[in-house]
Amino acid sequence: MTIINRLVIIFSILFGEAALGDEHYNRYDFPKDFIFGASTSAYQVEGAALEDGRTRSIYDTFAHQKRHGKHDPDVTCDQYHKYKDDVQLMVETGLDAYRFSISWSRLIPNGRGAINPKGLRYYNNLINELINHGIEPHVTLLHTDLPQVLEDEYGGFLNRRIILDFTAYADICFREFGDRVQQWTTFNEANIFVFGGYDVGNTPPGRCSLPFGHYNCSRGDSTTEPYIAAHLLLLAHGSAVRLYKEKYQAKQLGFVGMNLLSYYLSPATNTREDVDAARRSYDFLIGWFMHPLKYGDYPEIMKKNAGTKLPTFTKEESKLLKGSFDFIGLNYYSIMMVADNSMNSSINPRPRDYFGDMEVEWICMLYTF
């Protein structure tokens, strides 16, 4: 099996008159084997927050703090009770696939150990309903909703214990659902999870430190924690992928990968400094994860700029990560203009967060939908 077996690019595209002018597209303009699908996350759609044995996740905790106008997720779309209606809507829409995430705290309320039979039944029912209607299930193991019990017990992705717990959770999912699910994503937008959750604090678990965080920074360290969380997330991913390949793939014939958020990063000017800044942004945003997954180590520019804040991989860890994916999913929504900021960083040699280590300024964002 080659390092890159499949490249899966997931686009979020809404076609509009203003964007397309007089051109119109329909389904038949795409290749016959093009897969049309939709995706959600457990937190966004399931509801039933405390029903049938489910416990709180870090997203529940974050949302209930009422940060920047977020609504709590106790009901949302209520897919837990209305999954049959939702699948029927997918059929009427003409979807070929549906990517959803499993709520770890619904399936395993204590984060490890006993399976919740009602949670197991729900996901079996959802998967079977999709398949019975000709829709392929694509399953994400974690979409920003780590069980709160693990966050409270040892700090979640800031502690190496997460590697074993995530692998054990993945093992249960592969075992229980892998006879019908062939498309597995370990983490959704892994790069944004650690940046938002541990640098600026605008996503769960909402950790940050002043002056870097965008919100109330009562706990965390924006200068180091993004790198620690990303490092342990990568190792958890590698461990789960190794488990799947050694224990399940030959029989289940499935594929496993990771999902990242990407931008089209364009230099603000044609100067060498801004062109280099755009490349540096790609290394920090995408290379942060893709370089270890392909080469077993971080990009050189990250090691140079972050220095000792960036953890290192052992030889065994590097071997674990190299080639640990069958596909990479890219979520793409917007274009970013990038300018160099390295001179300002050298003039003000103060502590820097992950974004500061990038030495760039993102000056304009254009959404493509």
So what's the pLDDT on residue 66? 65
**170-227 pLDDT per residue, tens:** 999 999 999 999 999 999 999 999 999 999 999 999 999 999 987 678 899 999 999 9
Give the confidence band of 369 by pLDDT, cuts at 50, 70, 90: low
Instruction: Say how many Å lie between the first and final Cα of the chain, rounded.
Output: 36
* Cβ pair 263, 336 in contact under 8 A: yes
Average pLDDT over all residues of the chain = 91
Residue closest to 80 by CA, chosen among 44, 111, 115, 56: 44
Q: Alpha carbon of 224 to those of 21, 25, 53, 256: distances in Å?
A: 47, 46, 35, 29
So what's the pLDDT on residue 348? 66
> Percentage of the chain surpassing pLDDT 90?
83
Give the confidence band of 3 by pLDDT, cuts at 50, 70, 90: very low
So what's the pLDDT on residue 238? 99
pLDDT of 5 above 50: no
So what's the pLDDT on residue 25? 84
So what's the pLDDT on residue 218? 81
Residue type, 255: F
Kindly state the tokens that stand for 323. Answer: 């080639």
So what's the pLDDT on residue 14? 35
Mean pLDDT value of segment 53-75: 82
* pTM score, whole prediction: 0.92
Q: Secondary structure of the chain in the HEC alphabet? A: CCCCCCCEEEECCCCCHHHHCCCCCCHHHCCCCCCCEEECCHHHHCCCCCCCCCCCEHHHHHHHCCHHHCCCCCCCCCHHHHHHHHHHHHHHHCCCEEEEECCHHHHCCCCCCCCCHHHHHHHHHHHHHHHHCCCEEEEEEECCCCEHHHHHHHCHHHCCHHHHHHHHHHHHHHHHHCCCCCEEEEECCHHHHHHHHHHHCCCCCCCCCCCCCCCCCCCCCCCCHHHHHHHHHHHHHHHHHHHHHHHCHHHHCCEEEEEEEEEEEEECCCCHHHHHHHHHHHHHHHHHHHHHHHHCCCCHHHHHHHHHHCCCCCHHHHHHHCCCCCEEEEEEEEEEEEEECHHHHHHCCCCCCHHHHHCEEEEEEEECC
Distance between CA atoms of residues 172 and 115, nearest Å? 9
Which residue carries 């770890």 as its tokens? 104
Q: Please name each of the domains of the chain with its CATH number.
A: 30-261+322-330 (3.20.20.80)
Which residue carries 């040699």 as its tokens? 349
So what's the pLDDT on residue 151? 99
Give the confidence band of 73 by pLDDT, cuts at 50, 70, 90: confident
Give the confidence band of 140 by pLDDT, cuts at 50, 70, 90: very high
Give the confidence band of 368 by pLDDT, cuts at 50, 70, 90: low
pLDDT of 9 above 70: no
Give the confidence band of 345 by pLDDT, cuts at 50, 70, 90: low
So what's the pLDDT on residue 344? 73
**84-120 pLDDT per residue, tens:** 999 999 999 999 999 999 999 999 999 999 999 999 9
Ranking 5-14, 102-111, 240-249, 263-272 by mean pLDDT, the lowest is 5-14
Give the confidence band of 8 by pLDDT, cuts at 50, 70, 90: very low
